Amino acid sequence: IQNEESVILFLVVWTVTEITRYSFYTFNLLNHLPYFIKWARYNFFIVLYPAGVAGELLTIYAALPYVKKTGMFSLRLPNKYNVSFDYYYFLIIVMFSYIP
């Protein structure tokens, strides 16, 4: 999954977000906040938020076949805990939880 373009998308978006955020904090602590940094802090999210969500959802979607095939992070019955957990369906629920 790490070779998917969606991973690059959300990594770039997260990086730009953090650079903007911490530049804002740093300049604010130095009592010298350039207008562009303040503007970027409060306006870049308009583009970065949807792009980050898209990157995350596309990455989860790309991982679904592998998770289903391998049973990754899933717990099947019977076991000593007497519980069952399917990571595949958990990821689908997580994807739908982005809607609200």
* Catalytic residue set: 49, 56
> Do 37 and 27 touch, CB atoms closer than 8 A?
yes
Which of 33, 36, 39, 41 lies closest to 16 in space, CA to CA?
Answer: 41
Residue written as token pair 């070779």: 3
